[in-house]
Amino acid sequence: MALAHELLRSGFPYYMTLGQRRVTSNPVDIGFGKENVYVLTKGGLGTEVRVINWEDENLGVLGGTDLFQWPAALLVDSEENLIVSDEAKHTVVTMDKDGNHLETWGVKGDGEGELDRPSGMSFDSEGNIVLSDTMNNRVQRFTRSGEHLQTIGVGDLDSPWGVAVDQLDNVYVVDWKNDRIVKYSRDGDLVMTLGSSGSGKGEFNRPSSVAVDNHGDIYVCDRQNNRVQLFNKEGKYIQSFHGNASLSKSGQTYILANAVTLRLRAMSDVEKTQLLDVPMTIRVDDDFRLFITDFGNHRIQIYKKDAIELSQDQIAPEMRNPILFTT
Amino acid sequence: MATTTKKDPVFVVVQLSGGNDFMNTVIPYTNPLYYDNRTFLNIPEEDVLPLDSTLGWHPEMGPFKELYDRGMVAIVQGIGYPDSNRSHFRGMDIWHTCTPDEVSTIGWLGNTIEQLDPTGENPLTGINFGVGLPKAMTKAGVPVTSVSNLDNYGLMSGITAEDQKDEALQIFKNMYGQAVGTGPVMDYLSRTGNDVLTGADIIKVAPERYESTVEYADSPIGKSLRDVARVHTADLGTRIFYTQQGGYDTHANQLPTQPGLFKDLARAVNDFFADLEEHDADDNVIMLIFSEFGRRIADNGSGTDHGSGGGAFLVGKPVDGGLYCEYPSLERDRWAKGEDLEHTIDYRGIYGTVLEQWLGLEAAPIVQGTFEQINPFKTN
Amino acid sequence: MGSNDLALKAHLLRRAGFGASRGELEEIAKNGYEEIVEDLIHPERFEDLDEDYIRRYNPELSYHDGFQNHAGRWIWRMINTKRPLEEKMALFWHHVFATAYYKSEHVPTLIAQIETFRNNGLSNIKKVLNDLAKDPAMNYWLDNCENHSDQPNENWGRELLELFSMGVGNYSEDDIKNASRAFTGWTFEQPHPLYPFGHFASSFIFDEDDHDGSEKTFLGKTGNFNGEDIVEIICEQPATAKFICRHLYTFFVEDEPQVHTWSIEEPRNPEAIDEMIKVFMETDGDIRSILRFVFNSDFFKDAWYKKVKNPTELVAGTIKLTGMYDVIPKEGEALGTLYGSASVMGQALMNPPTVEGWHTGSEWIDGGTLNERVNFAVNQFDDVSTPGFKDILSRLGDQVKSDDLVGRCLDLIGPIEVGNETHAALSSYADAVGDLDLSTDQARTENAVKIARMIQLIVSTREYQFA
């Protein structure tokens, strides 16, 4: 599928918020089934997969610390099986949507196919798993059952975290300790790097996650800057998301049942409560919705891109310099 | 073993940490106001285990109901204190120290243990099972014992091989031998080290001596109460036992959470009293089950929030089972703080009841005042 | 005891920091004693800690409830920092200005308070007290948010004088009333409550409409005082100098009687306190200068076995010897465990028992806490594969003679010295195991456990309970 030549970017408005503390507590990743939303959580309030629906109803939990101790990423396949990477046990665990354990693979080590803190995960176009092998400073591609296919990024990376694969099977890796994104071709050749250390536009402070949508737009979860940055397919900075959350449905119900909480909310600064607080993982779907696990605030913030795809003949050719005179 | 004719009364405390939702423990299942306020979090009438025409047990409290039906459970309805503090820590503190108006470092059971054993002769007069001593049992100069694992209690517990552990303990004993003239703190360390060795030696007999046909359900509270039974039946002179079950802070997910907690609790308490009965050791034991506060009257769509008045239970063969005090009103104009159950009996009155009518001690100095008591014990 | 240079420097690092592994000690000891003191009192000379990995692997640090994890992070910092006195000063002020979680249950403000102590701990008393007066956690803890112009609340005003600066007997009830009036309107921004999205931070607010701007008389001075003026006057008082110096002395040098007795119990070493007061008055309460004086003094260098380790020192110091809880956390390592270990020994960081803080010295020890202290330390050396133990093992060389085993081990985990009874008991174990061959991998593996047992015995001693 060819990418659109260019976009008329109408906007990227806030769409909705899901979850609340003690339900989607400390979320680190998110995946989608036909009806359910799966939220991977890690931390003192629960290390498990929380199942909710689009009505923000709590449907219970799957998995838990007997299956994974330091879960990092979640993938949901077409049969709605759930795949979780575990940085403490150096494994990748699969369970079905009822939480039945199906399979675990992964052995600690630095040899080919071995793992040392597997973290970010993404499917490629064939359904294989591209997996960030953090402490080995590389990315490896595996079949669903853990058979090693490819090693990428040796020599380039320092403690990589999130990974993403675009429609053309390019691989994007969060080079965490180097504050940048590295893009590799399907064959593992370095194509592009994006970003440097800092807090300005196009700069990152220990980013955690990357996502690419069907326009080729690149999203970077700039974790310690508490924001998500959007770049076009060439890596040009477009905009940042700092957070614009409203109350989730469950949050509204909660507050309405609590007279004191209602009063305190009336006394406090609401703007603060909208912002992202240490976002962990970002995912995009085919409807150009952006999902941000707003870790520190125990919720998912969702945004939806509003853009019109342009063909080459609709838009003037590229210009080398800026101009002031416009009509 | 002991030749005393009358067994000393023993008091077991089970703390439900996090604030148990009394409204869904002993449920006013015929009161429409219950269903009005618990639109999400109600137990349907058909699931409730009725204890009379207005109140019923949570469906998972079956084994507890069994004890109630045998006349062994006094339900203390509406326990609390004025202007309840909704903080877990401070709320628990208030229950532990009997001083709602000021922060104190002296626990009410610390005072009680001191009364029971004024010279501090037996470090096992009061025992806590769990990690870290609850404030209720602390008082400077009053020795109490805290056991996280009864099967492996004492110094050097990390050394698993028995002979090596004994060797290490012997060296420890030599190292902590009375040194002459090395200073008061060194001397104090020596004394304390030797006290710890002695206490561990005494308590060691409990697991060795214990045999029972009762198989406790596998849960942390079951394990703790089994430890209580093992020490109690070993006759080591323990008068106060303390343990706790956590997880009652059900702001969210109360529906799936609370049943699991009740299931464990009800089974454990039932097993415990069956065990004591088997050992003919239940005549002199009562148990208090309490929580630091009740929860809000209205649910929040997923759980309930910190409230005020709640409920407690006194359990045991000497207890005259039944309902005590008044179930707090669900009428809106009688809500505490505009959203909570109002307490109908002060917890210090229940402590006083236990202190005076069970342990034979003067209550006022310990609970810091005079509070209304109930009469929950059988008269012989 | 000052004769052994390395041992003296180890003593300095235990008191001004949390001890050191042998490798760290030897590295630092390349400098002279006075130079080490200068490095300690100038933490800014060293890079701050890399928290990237613990923030990645302990996500609890990224939401603001569960103070235990944040208290654990603090101990992790004590273990790994290159600026040990910075953390030690934060702990010092936490002892003096004890603020507990149990009242507010609001973690962001508690974290911010410790961060303030970390930043201003070595500055001067005026800055420390002004920052404290504007600290939201303290403000709520002592009810100054309820101190209104038309309805003063004296809790903060009273404790500021009694527990935080001058000590009882040095001011009148009227001084308390007037000080309290000066702090009316000092409050904090209402943070959004815990549910549904977790805690949010707060910050200091001066509400002029709620401030009593009228005339006050405080400690003999009269004016339209605001809170800063009160702090200014407090800092000029000799009583403040004495009170703060006694606190520094009991924390860094020698256990004093418990604080609440100070109005009737004179210092154990009045000359030392007098000299410290002199430095305090000359430097307008400059903490760095006072500590420079203390660490270089003879009374400090001679103060061995005069101070019982607080639980935090015991936990951090022991872990430093094992090399666990490193900058990159081991798989599954949880920071809350560090908090829990110190907590069961009687020191729940960020949750002290009352505003009076912890009772220290021999009051740290009772049957239960001694049991916890000994078992904790013993358990850390149960694992012979920790980096710290492997380092100790490698430093023992190819062979250890039975006669040398006690001495070598005492040297490597301190150096510390022990009394005769202790030495004899340890030697009985050394005699029993005999000479130990460490020359081959197999022999090392076999004998590692015996060395580890010797270290377990050493960390069980009475002497190890002292800082």
DSSP C121-161: TTSBHHHHHHHHHT-HHHHHHTTGGG-BTTB---HHHHHHH
Backbone angles phi, psi at C176, to 5 degrees: -60, -45
A267 CB within 8 Å of a chain C CB: yes
- Residues of chain A under the 50 pLDDT cut: none
What CATH number does domain B10-144+219-367 carry, 3.90.320, 3.40.720, 1.10.10, 2.120.10?
3.40.720
For residue A275, give every residue at least 6 positions away whose Cβ sits within 8 Å of its Cβ, in sequence order, or none.
Answer: A226, A242, A243, A245
C200 CB within 8 Å of a chain A CB: yes
Please say whether the beta carbons of B104 and B113 come within 8 A: no
The single residue listed with the structure tokens 């034979």 is B360
Q: Is C317 helix (H, G, I), strand (E, B) or coil?
A: helix
For helices C5-16 and C33-41, give the axis angle rounded to 10 degrees: 10
Mean pLDDT of B27-42: 94
Same domain (yes/no): C236, C119 = yes
Q: Is C333 helix (H, G, I), strand (E, B) or coil?
A: coil
Q: C-alpha A51: how far from its chain's center? A: 18
Contact C59 A254 (CB under 8 A): no
For residue B156, give every residue at least 6 positions away whose Cβ sits within 8 Å of its Cβ, in sequence order, or none.
Answer: B165, B168, B169, B172, C374, C375, C378, C456, C460
A259 CB within 8 Å of a chain B CB: yes
Question: What is the model's pLDDT at position B257?
Answer: 82
Structural element, H or E, at residue C251: helix C238-252
Beta bridge partners of C178: none
Q: Is residue A12 part of a domain?
A: no
Where does the pLDDT of residue B1 fall: very low under 50, low under 70, confident under 90, or very high at 90 and above?
Answer: very low
Joined tokens for residue B258: 């609370």
E strand residue ranges, B108-167: 126-129, 145-147
Final residue of a structural domain among C254, C281, C301: C301
Q: Is A284 helix (H, G, I), strand (E, B) or coil?
A: strand
Size of interface A-C (CB pairs under 8 A): 103
Same domain (yes/no): C92, C241 = yes
Q: Tell me which residue of C324, C451, C434 sits closest to C396, measured CA to CA.
A: C451
CA distance C289 to B248: 51
Size of interface B-C (CB pairs under 8 A): 119
A9 CB within 8 Å of a chain C CB: no
Which CATH number is A174's domain given? 2.120.10.30
Bond prior to C196 in cis (omega within 30° of 0):
yes
Q: Is B77 helix (H, G, I), strand (E, B) or coil?
A: strand
Q: How far is B144 from chain A (nearest CA, A)?
A: 31
Question: pLDDT 10s per residue in chain C (467 long)?
Answer: 434 899 999 999 999 999 999 999 999 999 999 999 999 999 999 999 999 999 999 999 998 888 999 999 999 999 999 999 999 999 999 999 999 998 899 999 999 999 999 999 999 999 999 999 999 999 999 999 999 999 999 999 999 999 999 999 999 999 999 999 999 999 999 999 999 999 999 999 999 999 999 999 999 999 999 999 999 999 999 999 999 999 999 999 999 999 988 988 999 999 999 999 999 999 999 999 999 999 999 999 999 889 999 999 999 999 999 999 999 999 999 999 999 999 999 999 999 988 989 999 999 998 889 999 999 999 999 999 999 999 999 999 999 999 999 999 999 999 999 999 999 999 999 999 999 999 999 999 999 999 999 999 999 999 999 99
Question: What is the percent of chain B with per-residue pLDDT over 70, rounded to a whole number?
Answer: 97
Q: Is A238 helix (H, G, I), strand (E, B) or coil?
A: strand
CB contact residues (below 8 A), chain A span 186-205, against chain C: none
Where does the pLDDT of residue B179 fall: very low under 50, low under 70, confident under 90, or very high at 90 and above?
Answer: low
CA distance B201 to B236: 11
CA distance C113 to C136: 8
CA distance C67 to C351: 9
Joined tokens for residue C339: 């908090």
Nearest by CB to residue B186, choosing from C102, C428, C462, is: C462
Same domain (yes/no): C119, C265 = yes
- pLDDT tens digits, one per residue of B222-268: 999 999 999 999 999 999 999 999 889 887 777 778 899 999 999 99
CA distance C23 to C327: 16
Joined tokens for residue A159: 């403690």
Neighbouring C-beta atoms of residue C33, cutoff 10 Å: 15
Please say whether the beta carbons of B247 and B18 come within 8 A: yes
Question: What is the model's pLDDT at position C102?
Answer: 86
Q: How many independent structural domains does chain A possess?
A: 1
Q: Tell me which residue of B203, A264, A67, A174 sits closest to C200, measured CA to CA.
A: A264
Q: Looking at residue B271, what DSSP letter applies?
A: H
Would you report the helix, strand and coil content of chain C in percent, each value rounded to 5? Answer: 60, 5, 35
Same domain (yes/no): C269, C409 = no
Q: How many independent structural domains does chain C possess?
A: 2
Chain C residue numbers with beta carbons less than 8 Å from the beta carbon of B185 are 255, 305, 308, 361-362
Nearest by CB to residue C196, choosing from A224, A251, A267, is: A251
Chain C residue numbers with beta carbons less than 8 Å from the beta carbon of A87 are 57, 331
* CA angle at C349 for the pair C346 and C350, rounded to the nearest 5°: 135
Domain ranges, residue C189: 83-301
Q: What is the ipTM of this complex?
A: 0.95
Q: Is residue C120 part of a domain?
A: yes
Q: Tell me which residue of C338, C308, C359 sits closest to C98, measured CA to CA.
A: C359
Bridge pairing between strands B240-245 and B49-50? unpaired
Number of helices (H) and strands (E), helices first, in chain A? 3, 28
CB contact residues (below 8 A), chain C span 95-154, against chain A: none
Chain B residue numbers with beta carbons less than 8 Å from the beta carbon of C374 are 155-156, 172
Contact B251 A60 (CB under 8 A): no
Q: How far is A17 from chain B (nearest CA, A)?
A: 17
C193 CB within 8 Å of a chain B CB: no
Q: Is residue C39 part of a domain?
A: no
pLDDT > 60? residue B350: yes
Domain ranges, residue A191: 26-308
Same domain (yes/no): C432, C289 = no
CB-based burial of residue C166 (10 Å sphere; 0-12 exposed, 13-18 middle, 19+ buried)?
buried
Question: What is the model's pLDDT at position B140?
Answer: 85
Q: Is residue A152 part of a domain?
A: yes
Question: What is the model's pLDDT at position B380?
Answer: 63
Size of interface A-B (CB pairs under 8 A): 37
Q: Is residue A111 part of a domain?
A: yes
Neighbouring C-beta atoms of residue A326, cutoff 10 Å: 4
Give first-to-last CA distance, chain B, whole Å.
26
Backbone angles phi, psi at A96, to 5 degrees: -85, 180
Q: Tell me which residue of C30, C45, C137 sits closest to C85, measured CA to CA.
A: C45
Question: What is the model's pLDDT at position B160?
Answer: 87
CA distance A281 to A40: 10
Chain C residue numbers with beta carbons less than 8 Å from the beta carbon of B179 are 419-421
CA distance A139 to A157: 9
Neighbouring C-beta atoms of residue B365, cutoff 10 Å: 11
For helices C387-395 and C311-322, give the axis angle rounded to 10 degrees: 60
Distances (CA, A) of A122 to A48, A170, A220: 19, 11, 15
pLDDT > 70? residue B44: yes
Q: How far is C379 from chain B (nearest CA, A)?
A: 6
Chain C residue numbers with beta carbons less than 8 Å from the beta carbon of A261 are 193, 195
Q: Is B199 helix (H, G, I), strand (E, B) or coil?
A: helix
Q: Is residue A13 part of a domain?
A: no
pTM: 0.90
Contact C195 A69 (CB under 8 A): no
Final residue of a structural domain among C301, C333, C356: C301
Chain B neighbors (3+ CB pairs < 8 Å): A, C
Where does the pLDDT of residue B181 fall: very low under 50, low under 70, confident under 90, or very high at 90 and above?
Answer: low
Question: What is the model's pLDDT at position C207?
Answer: 97
Q: Hey, what amino acid is at C178?
A: N
